[in-house]
């Protein structure tokens, strides 16, 4: 499987759409599996030595703006829920 940056951008967009609709457990598992396959294929196709592949993996999975936004949303939800 060859993964392009367009594939990754499309996957991020599709995941954002599914997450916004809060899928069932089965949908979430299927979505997660497909996303991880794309991610793993992209890491593998870089052809990096193990150490560099691990560095790339760690840099991509590091907390970023989507995780920060999710945390803010969770805080707002908890505040609204406790009001």
Nearest to 73 by CA among 56, 23, 81: 81
Structural contact between residues 7 and 38, judged by C-beta atoms closer than 8 angstroms: yes
Per-residue tens of pLDDT for the chain, all 83 residues = 888 888 888 888 888 777 777 778 888 888 888 888 888 999 999 999 999 999 999 988 888 887 888 889 999 999 999 98
- Distance (Å, rounded) from C-alpha 72 to C-alpha 12? 19
How many CB atoms sit inside 10 A of residue 3's CB? Answer: 18
Whether this model's pTM surpasses 0.85: no
């Amino acid at each position: 499987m060859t993964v392009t940056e367009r594939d990754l951008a499309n996957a991020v967009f599709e995941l954002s759409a599914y997450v916004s609709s809060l899928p069932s457990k089965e949908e979430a598992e299927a979505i997660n599996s497909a996303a991880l396959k794309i991610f793993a294929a992209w890491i593998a196709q870089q052809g990096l030595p193990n150490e560099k592949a691990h560095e790339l993996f760690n840099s991509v999975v590091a907390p970023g703006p989507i995780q920060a936004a999710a945390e803010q949303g969770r805080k707002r939800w908890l505040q609204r829920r406790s009001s």
